[in-house]
């Protein structure tokens, strides 16, 4: 075998081995935490398959001395993988859209993980002000972070709130320009809250959530997502579920929420894939900074709601991007 042929095969294997591994993870829903975390990277398999498809087509057109049967088999694998991943990604680009009612007022919703309170408070408050946020959900709110946010005018901009700051990563709080009532804790390891926002046109039912990451055997992660799904299944008036889910649409427990007709704002607006983590090079592998490739922060809208825009914003000092969505009643 000549070295150009060997290099070609090695390069193709470098594309297909991780791509097929990600496909298998998506299909078989692993339980071990490290494999659950790897499942977060499933969307990356699509470009790997796409490049492999071009290479295999080239090999079939110009087969050289090699058997075309082998390359036809490889082509079958590539086509199946490309098709599956295109199908799994398609809702973000061509998912079912739902129009807002003609006279429905628009609400701006934002979720932001403060990275144990380290996110720049002025950037958080400024982004919320510039985007005219009506409902602000913050995760990992520490007592010192809350004080700094209030120094930059958080309390004046958002006089109503639910939740309390906590040390470390457990504090989840929601803030609103409209009155909040009936805040109740959802049974997750980190703080999550259900509450009503009193709007001029009626009540808006909201969950502000923070799911623990899938570590170890990932049982806690699954239990948190199941707790949110169980609460949502009973709560027929639920309009919004907002926060850091530590899960993507490729995770089976997250898809339980989709089965309850809770859809991401990015899907409702066909905004495309919007990864939110890791931001600012806060995570690395073997000393190499990981790019932002995981979509784990979401604004989900219920049956009565739709979204008209969905965007992400960088916040200085945070390891997640903020998600901002405009929502309205259908």
Q: What is the pLDDT of residues 190-215, one digit of tens each?
A: 999 999 999 998 999 999 999 999 99
* pLDDT digits 0-9 by tens, 102-144: 888 999 999 999 999 999 999 999 999 999 999 999 999 999 9
- Which residues fall within 8 angstroms of residue 248, CB to CB, at 6 or more apart? 39, 40, 42, 43, 254, 294, 295, 296
Q: Which two tokens stand for residue 206?
A: 């909201």
Q: What angle, 0 to 180 degrees and rounded to 10, lies between the N-to-C axes of helices 45-61 and 68-94?
A: 140
Superfamily (CATH) of domain 107-329: Endonuclease/exonuclease/phosphatase (3.60.10.10)
Residue 62 reports pLDDT greater than 90: no
Looking at per-residue pLDDT, the higher value among 157 and 97 belongs to 157
Residue 65 reports pLDDT greater than 70: no
The arithmetic mean of pLDDT across residues 56-72, rounded, is 80
Domain limits, the chain = 3-94, 107-329
Looking at per-residue pLDDT, the higher value among 65 and 230 belongs to 230
Q: Are strands 263-264 and 297-301 parallel, antiparallel or unpaired?
A: antiparallel
Distances in Å between the alpha carbon of 158 and those of 30, 137, 203, 280? Answer: 42, 11, 18, 28
pLDDT category of residue 181 using cuts at 50, 70 and 90: very high
Residue 233 reports pLDDT greater than 90: yes
Residue 1 reports pLDDT greater than 60: no
User: What pLDDT score was predicted for residue 33?
Assistant: 97
pLDDT category of residue 309 using cuts at 50, 70 and 90: very high
Residue 48 reports pLDDT greater than 60: yes
Residue 282 reports pLDDT greater than 90: no
Residue 284 reports pLDDT greater than 70: no
User: What pLDDT score was predicted for residue 2?
Assistant: 75
Residue 236 reports pLDDT greater than 90: no
User: What pLDDT score was predicted for residue 100?
Assistant: 83
User: What pLDDT score was predicted for residue 308?
Assistant: 95
Q: With contact defined as beta carbons under 8 Å apart, do 297 and 323 qualify?
A: yes
pTM of the model: 0.93
The arithmetic mean of pLDDT across residues 249-258, rounded, is 97
Residue 64 reports pLDDT greater than 70: no
Q: Which among 85, 106, 138 has a CA at the least distance from the CA of 269?
A: 106
């Amino acid at each position: 075998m000549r070295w150009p042929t060997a290099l070609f095969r090695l390069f193709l294997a470098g594309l297909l081995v991780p791509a097929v591994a990600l496909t298998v993870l998506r299909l078989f829903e692993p339980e071990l935490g490290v494999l659950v975390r790897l499942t977060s990277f499933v969307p990356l398999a699509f470009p790997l398959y796409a490049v492999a498809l071009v290479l295999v087509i080239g090999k079939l057109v110009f087969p050289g001395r090699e058997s075309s049967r082998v390359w036809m088999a490889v082509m079958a694998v590539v086509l199946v993988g490309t098709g599956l991943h295109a199908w799994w990604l398609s809702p973000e680009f061509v998912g079912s859209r739902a129009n807002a009612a003609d006279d429905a007022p628009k609400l701006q919703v934002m979720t932001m993980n403060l990275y144990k309170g380290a996110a720049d408070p002025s950037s958080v408050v400024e982004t919320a002000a510039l985007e005219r946020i009506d409902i602000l959900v913050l995760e990992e709110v520490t007592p010192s972070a809350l004080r700094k946010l209030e120094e930059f005018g958080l309390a004046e901009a958002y006089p109503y709130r639910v939740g309390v700051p906590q040390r470390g990563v457990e504090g989840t709080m929601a803030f609103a320009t409209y009155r909040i009532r009936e805040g109740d804790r959802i049974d997750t390891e980190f703080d999550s809250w259900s509450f009503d926002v009193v709007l001029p046109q009626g009540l808006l039912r909201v969950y502000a959530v923070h799911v623990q990451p899938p570590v170890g055997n990932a049982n806690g992660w699954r239990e948190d997502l199941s707790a949110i799904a169980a609460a949502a299944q009973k709560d027929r008036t639920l309009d919004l579920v907002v926060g850091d889910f530590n899960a993507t649409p490729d995770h089976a427990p997250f898809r339980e929420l989709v089965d309850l007709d809770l859809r991401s704002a990015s899907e409702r607006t066909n905004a495309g894939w919007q990864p939110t983590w890791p931001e600012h090079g806060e995570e690395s592998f073997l000393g190499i900074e990981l790019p932002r490739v995981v979509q784990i922060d979401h604004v989900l809208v219920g049956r009565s709601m739709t979204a008209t825009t969905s965007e992400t914003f960088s916040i200085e000092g945070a390891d997640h991007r903020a998600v901002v969505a405009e929502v309205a009643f259908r």
